[in-house]
Structure 1
Amino acid sequence: MRKTVFFVSDGTAITAETFGHSLLTQFSAVDFREIRLPFVDTHSKARDAVSLIDRAAEADGTRPLVFSTIVDTGIGGELTAANAHVFDMFATFMEPLEEILGVERSPRVGQAHGMGNSHAYEDRMEATNYALTHDDGISKKLDQADVILVGVSRSGKTPTCLYMALHYGIKAANYPLTEEDLEQPRLPAFLRQHQRKLFGLTIDPERLAQIREVRRPGSRYASIKQCRYEVDAAEAMFRSEKLPVLSTTDSSVEELASRILLEQGLQRDQV
């Protein structure tokens, strides 16, 4: 079964996409074709969106799903003309919230993913710069790090660090364990002095081999034998050092980041 899904917003459409996608993951039997339509902030753009949705309905022979977070009720109302199942996510929650809070909303477009608090935004940018300059062991000066991810090459350290920086303002560094490191019984000394900040990432050797094969086809680096050796040695080192560990094999960066922040006591508001 195939279904086209539209995420429509007068802003970035990130909220509609995130929430809608979370719902759709519960229907694994359906093949969803997802289309994001951001900045639909005029009646003209809304009518253009309706035309696009209708063409998809005609091509698919079935009505698409539309998740909308358009703030302006007039513009958002244009979508009801589409040959689709429309889920107005703001309309679903706004009226009950107004009743509970005892105040009417003050409609503002783009607040969910705007700059918002300038200090929080600056913290995120500073943390992102930190993650980039402390990626893959580039810098061994880690005093300012909130967390240090350790693992073999291509185990998911960099994207997880960047996600924590961009979304939570966490200064995350990472260090790739080399063959020389793995031949030693303990982590490098410069890492051990930051023991409480260390967090290990591991991965299934077969999955690691697939990832490395894309980067260096046919190489020893990508061989299953080498991958098994490195993962086994890294996990033994993590046990020896008593590090908390997560597997990245079947986990998204969002889940990894959330679990790391929770286990390290670094819970912060997402900004």
Structure 2
Amino acid sequence: MPNQRSVYYLSDRTGITAETLGHSLLTQFDGFEWRKVSIPFIENEEQAREVAEQINQTAERDGKRPLVFSTIITSEIRRHIEQANCVIYDFFETFIGSMEQELGQPSAHAVGRSHSVHNTSSYFNRISAINYSLSNDDGMNLRNFDKADVILVGVSRSGKTPTCLYMALQYGISAANYPLTEEDMETHDLPKALLPYRDKLFGLTLSAEQLTQIRQERRPNSRYASLEQCELELKWQSELYQRYRLPFIDTTNISIEEISTTILKQKKLKRRLYGE
């Protein structure tokens, strides 16, 4: 039976930073079942006291101190959390002091800068990329493919849409996608619509077992979801990737974050967020 521990992600804004960094650290420890609680927008001392009380109740229930990952800037709010029965991993407190000393100036201690829209260029890059990916999903607007940074290809339900949206949201990348269908298989060739954009193509693949499991959720007990059909499509897809020397990645056992980062690296795409 796994060892159960409670984890809190606390922030005075969205909590995305605390969750992302905290999750990265927790993945290094096997054999635990994490009970995760995310509490964003802790903006005053009254809210902080309520959160501290909730943490204390959790500690009493579990018989163990909860782990708390925090990106709270305001010291008055942070003080109440520090008094709770928990072990705190405060990302800003850990690094800000050392950076102030090295850079020779105090930090702004401004709330929400990491996810604010003070960089309007970065913000609108993100919105534009998301709109592009939504408008160019499943090959809907082939005429817009010339504006794509990358075009993901793969058989149905191979993860193209979520990967495109993740790259748009996190990196400001304009990603389109095109589904490889049974009709395409009959031609034994790359779809003609994709030929002008070969340098932008990137393939996704996965195991036949995982593909059939995903398809079963959409169309249970159908030919479309059968293991035989999935194996047939993936075999044809693999041959296509090799024939046209298309870069591709097997997504069977890796996260969407790893998939997206691999695509950016292999296609030499530059992130358009955070002032880059």
Verify: 1:23 aligned to 2:59, yes or no: no
2:43 is matched with 41
Q: 148-157 vs 161-170, which deviates more?
A: 161-170
Counterparts in 2 of 1:244-259, with a 5 A limit? 244-259=247-262
* 1:82-130 superposed Cα distances (whole Å, 9 cap, x missing partner): 1111111111101100011111111111111112311221111111111
* 1:152-203 superposed Cα distances (whole Å, 9 cap, x missing partner): 0111100110011112111100001000112222211120110110000001
Verify: 1:222 aligned to 2:220, yes or no: no
Q: Distance in 2 between the 1:114 and 1:210 partners?
A: 39
> Over the residues paired in the alignment, what is the CA RMSD in angstroms?
1.0
2:56 to 48, 54, 61: 54
> Once the 2 structures are TM-superposed, how far is the Cα of residue 250 of structure 1 from its aligned partner?
1.3
1:81 is matched with 83
Give the aligned length.
271
TM-score, L = length of structure 1: 0.98
Question: Is contact 1:57-1:64 (8 Å) kept?
Answer: yes
1:263 is matched with 266
* 1:196-236 superposed Cα distances (whole Å, 9 cap, x missing partner): 10000001110011111111111111111111111111111
> Once the 2 structures are TM-superposed, how far is the Cα of residue 269 of structure 1 from its aligned partner?
4.5
Output the amino acid matched with 2:16.
I
Q: Deviating runs (4+, > 4 A) in structure 1?
A: none
3-state SS, counterpart of residue 228 of structure 1: helix
2:210 is matched with 207
3-state SS, counterpart of residue 215 of structure 2: helix
Counterparts in 2 of 1:73-152, with a 5 A limit? 73-141=75-143, 142-152=145-155
TM-score, L = length of structure 2: 0.96
Counterparts in 2 of 1:230-241, with a 5 A limit? 230-241=233-244
Q: Distance in 1 between the 2:115 and 2:135 partners?
A: 25
3-state SS, counterpart of residue 221 of structure 1: coil
1:69 to 71, 88, 113: 71
Q: Distance in 1 between the 2:64 and 2:49 partners?
A: 20
Q: Distance in 2 between the 1:70 and 1:85 partners?
A: 15
1:193 to 188, 192, 196: 196
Q: Distance in 1 between the 2:173 and 2:118 partners?
A: 18
Question: Is contact 1:186-1:240 (8 Å) kept?
Answer: no
3-state SS, counterpart of residue 155 of structure 1: coil
Q: Distance in 2 between the 1:236 and 1:184 partners?
A: 13
Output the amino acid matched with 2:90.
D
1:5 is matched with 7
